Amino acid sequence: MKTRYFVGLMAMLLVGLTLSQQSPFQQRVQQAINSGGNKFAETMKQDRDQALCSQYRDKLPPEEVGAFLERQRALIKYPADGKLMGDWKQGEALFTNPRKGNCYACHTGDPKEAGAGRMGPGLVGYGQRGTSEPVVKYTYDKIYNAWASMPCSLMYRAGYHGILTPEETAHVTAFLLDPASPVNAKR
């Protein structure tokens, strides 16, 4: 009885190992997700770093951070013309649109916009830091891929996911940095 049980267990383990590298618990999670229906399972698929963030409850251990940032930085794409600051007016629309940037869900921006969320730092007066190359690049990179500077940030990777194209990311960057933008209006 006991040996048969053992052999059975080994066989199951082997099958498990050859099918995937997942632990039995992870396989159980996947099974549960699949039971929620095809469309659910499809949208719940994770990339490697989403899985890593989930595993560590959004707090990566220090030894994972370097490689994580490296992988995320490699995902950033820039506009063909190389200009990281576009048109702030187009940026404003993208920043506000819930289907595009949806940035007001978490940030203040133009102080006139009522009911902005506060999950992210306030961005009113963001342009005070100037428009030097490092500032522009930091801002562009943050918007395109927030995880390239902050692992598992709760800010989503708008550019990486194609919610904003590189050109659109440049417009939103301008909305935050351009001195003429309402974000930076003198008060």
Partner 1 sequence: MRDRSLWIGFLVALGLGLSIALTQQQEVDPYKEAERQRELFRQTAGILPGELYAAQGEELFAQKRGPKNASLEACDFGLGPGKLEGALTQLPRYFADTRRVEDLETRIVSCMVNLQGFRPQDIKREDVKALTAFVASKSTEMPINVVPRSSQEIAMYNLGRELWYHRAGDRDMNCAICHDSYAGGKVRLSPVRSPRQGLSNEWPAYRFEADKLYTLEDRIAFCYESVGIHPPEYYSEPMIALSIYMLAEATKGKNKFTELPGFTR
Stretch that binds partner 1, among 9-17, 33-41, 65-73, 88-96 (CB under 8 A): 33-41
Candidates 19, 121, 162, 187; binder of partner 1 (CB under 8 A) is 162
Q: At what angle do helices 133-144 and 166-177 cross, to 10 degrees?
A: 130
Residue 79 near ligand HEC by CB under 6 A: no
Retrieve residue 145's tokens. Answer: 């891929």
Q: Give whichever of 96 and 131 is closer to partner 1, judged by the CB atom.
A: 96
Candidates 65, 105, 150, 180; binder of partner 1 (CB under 8 A) is 105
Candidates 33, 41, 155, 185; binder of ligand HEC (CB under 6 A) is 155
Give residues with Cβ within 8 angstroms of 106, minimum separation 6.
Answer: 117, 118, 119, 120, 154, 155
- Residue 9 contact partner, candidates ligand HEC, partner 1, none, CB within 5 to 8 A by sort of partner: none
The DSSP string of 61-117 is -HHHHHHHHHHHHTT----TT--S---HHHHHHHHH-TTTT-GGGT---STTSTT--
Q: At what angle do helices 48-55 and 62-73 cross, to 10 degrees?
A: 160
Interaction with ligand HEC in 83-142: which residues (CB under 6 A)?
A: 95, 101-103, 105-107, 119-121, 139, 142
Residue 158 near ligand HEC by CB under 6 A: yes
Q: Give whichever of 85 and 176 is closer to ligand HEC, judged by the CB atom.
A: 176
By C-alpha distance, which of 153, 107, 132 is closest to 140? Answer: 132
Q: Give whichever of 135 and 185 is closer to ligand HEC, judged by the CB atom.
A: 135
Candidates 4, 37, 62, 186; binder of partner 1 (CB under 8 A) is 37
Residue 89 near partner 1 by CB under 8 A: no
Candidates 3, 74, 114, 133; binder of partner 1 (CB under 8 A) is 114
Retrieve residue 95's tokens. Answer: 């920043």
Candidates 68, 88, 95, 104; binder of partner 1 (CB under 8 A) is 104
Q: How far apart are CA 183 and CA 23, in angstroms?
A: 48
